[in-house]
Amino acid sequence: MGKFQVIDHPLIQHKLTIIRDKDCGTKVFREVVNEIAMLMAYEVSRDMPLEDVVIETPICETTQKTLSGKKVAIVPILRAGIGMVDGILELIPAAKVGHIGLYRDHDTLEPVEYFVKMPEDIDARQLFVVDPMLATGGSAIMAIDALKARGGSNIKFVCLVAAPEGVKALQEAHPDIDIYTAALDEYLDKDGYIVPGLGDAGDRLFGTK
Ligand code: URA
């Protein structure tokens, strides 16, 4: 089973409270989502491989560590996932970004990919799939299905708020992936909203309703 980690650093908890507040406006919401994503990226990237490099300091020659060049791609699930991309890019500026948009057809219940644009070499990349809310787990599961079908194998899922129902569904469907969240909330209500949650993350990020 992959890792499940709640990244509950005090700075992250503080910032999450700011965006949970219904009176937080679009500008601050957008900024703080990116700040939380950046702080989470620090932990999510903790196991990035390092290699030795020989350098010269002003004093002497020395062998030190450098990132081994394992490439990263951030994969936001449209649309709310886009809100987390810039924050992660602050820490990992060379990452590529692949976008994925899906919905489930109401009649056939089959997932429909309406937009998928990935870097060519996703099989060689560490993939960070991002979506602020892990609610039922449906879109995360479909997105990861789509990435695996294209050769992606090294996948981490990163969200801000997770419902226990979504974590369970995602772990059952994709036991190999690591899941990181800033908070594990109580439950999903009958309309599919996470409680206490923060409302519709896409609407709050983009000022729609
Ligand atoms: N998606 C959201 O944006 N919010 C929720 O609470 C659940 C799903």
- Give the list of residues 6+ apart from residue 187 with CB closer than 8 angstroms, or none: 163, 164, 165, 194, 195
pLDDT for the residue 138 = 93
pLDDT for the residue 111 = 73
Residues whose beta carbon lies within 6 Å of some atom of ligand 1: 80, 133, 135, 192-194, 197, 200-202
Q: Is residue 176 part of a domain?
A: yes
- Give the list of residues 6+ apart from residue 107 with CB closer than 8 angstroms, or none: none
Q: Is residue 209 part of a domain?
A: no
Distances (CA, A) of 183 to 38, 63, 123, 124: 15, 39, 30, 30
Catalytic residue among 104, 121, 123, 176: 104
Active site residue 63: no
Total domains in the fold of the chain:
1
In order along its 209 residues, the chain shows pLDDT tens digits of: 999 999 999 999 999 999 999 999 999 999 999 999 999 999 999 999 999 999 999 999 999 999 998 799 999 999 999 999 999 999 999 999 999 999 877 787 777 899 999 999 999 999 999 999 999 999 999 999 999 999 999 999 999 999 999 999 999 999 999 999 999 999 999 999 999 999 999 999 999 98
pLDDT for the residue 110 = 73
| 57 alpha carbon – ligand 1 mean position (Å) | 50
Give residue for tokens 């909330």: 185
- Give the list of residues 6+ apart from residue 81 with CB closer than 8 angstroms, or none: 75, 129, 130, 131, 132
Q: How far apart are CA 139 and CA 148, in angstroms?
A: 14
pLDDT for the residue 146 = 95
Q: Is residue 178 part of a domain?
A: yes
Catalytic residue among 23, 105, 108, 191: 108
Range of the domain at 147: 2-204
pTM of the shown model: 0.96
Distances (CA, A) of 35 to 19, 90, 91: 11, 9, 11
pLDDT for the residue 5 = 98
Query: For position 21, which CATH number holds?
Result: 3.40.50.2020
Q: Is residue 25 part of a domain?
A: yes
